[in-house]
Structure 1
């Protein structure tokens, strides 16, 4: 028995220590050597960061279309959420969207572009000013940020630029509703020859004059941005949407008419 114990000790001492990749934060679950630099780009200077699995970042296991990759962030289990940022470490434009839920749940679903295999993450600012980060790796064929938008290829984007479509769902007696928005926009990254960057850069949502949410978008959001949020609404309230793109074109619209939330919705 003593010989076996001594032998086991020798094996343990000889076992190699697996170190984090050079440059990676040792506490990063995804072990990305790029994260320290990316955090400096997408978060405020000096931001305090920790990893927290209460932030649920969900997306498909396979990126079937790197131009339209759906990402859902659910931070409702975290108290005092102030902001949510969605970003991809290895995209040329890392930050996709910054969402401020003034009078809404800490939940957002959106589609982004992917330029290569990369971690896709969310950073959630909480009441004390620190940030909680979570995410996962996704394999992608690449080119999502450098391929021309479909509307550019068809040449029909200008006829319906900034056109808003939306729908509301709610449950009687409950304040939490579901809001789906889609805005017609090419979301040009500037990485296509002879096509300058041009994107929808902001959306603001109100109900009866009350501020529900602010969104700041970047060109790494997918063409014709499609967004799902969970605002707090009273029965019969509608949502007023205002926006602006990087060329100064403005959007103004209203989403009204609430139907029942589908069974099984998160």
Structure 2
């Protein structure tokens, strides 16, 4: 997939996946914006996902300069926007897990400081129902007792930085199952001990139950003191935790 500028007057950019949803997605997310299909954005996911409720995805836009935000889209999900993240002092890369409602392209769009979007993706084959069929979610009897509890793990990376893994207890219900309202984490802020943003994550309903987020923090970005994790879900329940580097 080579880079192709959408603002070239001679041709409309062609979706490399040939997705029937692409015209709708282009209008919804990129209308009036400049964008390219760009190999420097890496999206990794299994070619065949056996469990549509728990599909491991990673996005890496670190090859681009000055990434200001990254949008993750699953074309054929009832909620195409799966997640958005804003890198601060952390690298422009994130690992997470999604629910998919069937086989679909999974795309990442990274916006750089010049306002241009850089898109790439991968196609995932899976069975239907990850978003619209009952899963464990709020049907677990203990979910209220553990709601928004956070566990973390920090490991050094070969380049002298740190890899932070955050797991949050939350049902992440899509609202598409009868009798179970939409209920998901809305925002998550990760900051260093000085209060400087490492990353802001805005998970959508397609993020899998008990979400796990993995991010890389370059050497020197942490500073003294613990990593601070804060956020809330769409019902206003707060998330508060600290992680010692």
Given the two structures, how large is their TM-score scaled by the length of structure 1?
A: 0.82
Residues 202 and 148 (structure 1), Cα distance of their counterparts in 2 relative to 1, 3 Å cut: same
Tell me the residue number matched to 1:79. Answer: 65
The Cα offsets for residues 227-262 of structure 1, whole Å up to 9 and x where unpaired, read as: 1011243466421000100000001101114xxxxx
Q: Describe how 1:63-74 pairs up with structure 2 within 5 A.
A: 63-74=49-60
Tell me the residue number matched to 1:27. Answer: 14
Match of 1:181 among 158, 162, 166: 166
Aligned pair 1:156/2:153, yes or no? no
User: Offset of 1:105 from its aligned partner?
Assistant: 0.5
User: Which structure 1 segments of 5+ residues have no match?
Assistant: 1-24, 258-266
Q: Is the 8 A contact 1:182 1:225 kept in 2?
A: yes
Q: Is the 8 A contact 1:113 1:221 kept in 2?
A: yes
Q: Describe how 1:1-266 pairs up with structure 2 within 5 A.
A: 27-41=14-28, 43=29, 45-171=31-157, 174=160, 176-208=161-193, 209-232=195-218, 233-234=221-222, 237-257=225-245
Q: Is the 8 A contact 2:89 2:217 kept in 1?
A: yes
The Cα offsets for residues 70-105 of structure 1, whole Å up to 9 and x where unpaired, read as: 111111111111111111011000111111001111
Tell me the residue number matched to 1:264. Answer: none
Large movers: runs of 4+ above 6 Å: none
* Partner Cα distance (1:190, 1:250) in 2: 20
User: Which structure 2 segments of 5+ residues have no match?
Assistant: 1-11
User: Offset of 1:47 from its aligned partner?
Assistant: 2.2
Q: Is the 8 A contact 2:192 2:223 kept in 1?
A: no
Aligned residues: 231
Q: Is the 8 A contact 2:69 2:111 kept in 1?
A: yes
Residues 251 and 47 (structure 1), Cα distance of their counterparts in 2 relative to 1, 3 Å cut: same
Tell me the residue number matched to 2:3. Answer: none
* Partner Cα distance (2:157, 2:127) in 1: 41
Task: Report the 3-state secondary structure (helix = DSSP H, G, I; strand = E; otherwise coil) of the residue aligned with 1:159.
Answer: helix
Q: Is the 8 A contact 2:192 2:227 kept in 1?
A: yes
* Partner Cα distance (2:13, 2:67) in 1: 26
Q: Is the 8 A contact 1:188 1:199 kept in 2?
A: yes
- Which is richer in helix? 1
* Partner Cα distance (2:187, 2:154) in 1: 20
User: Offset of 1:39 from its aligned partner?
Assistant: 2.9
User: Offset of 1:45 from its aligned partner?
Assistant: 4.4
* Partner Cα distance (2:59, 2:237) in 1: 29
Residues 172 and 122 (structure 1), Cα distance of their counterparts in 2 relative to 1, 3 Å cut: closer
* Partner Cα distance (2:128, 2:167) in 1: 24
User: Offset of 1:121 from its aligned partner?
Assistant: 0.6
The Cα offsets for residues 192-231 of structure 1, whole Å up to 9 and x where unpaired, read as: 0111101011000111211111111111111111110112
CA RMSD of aligned residues (A): 1.8
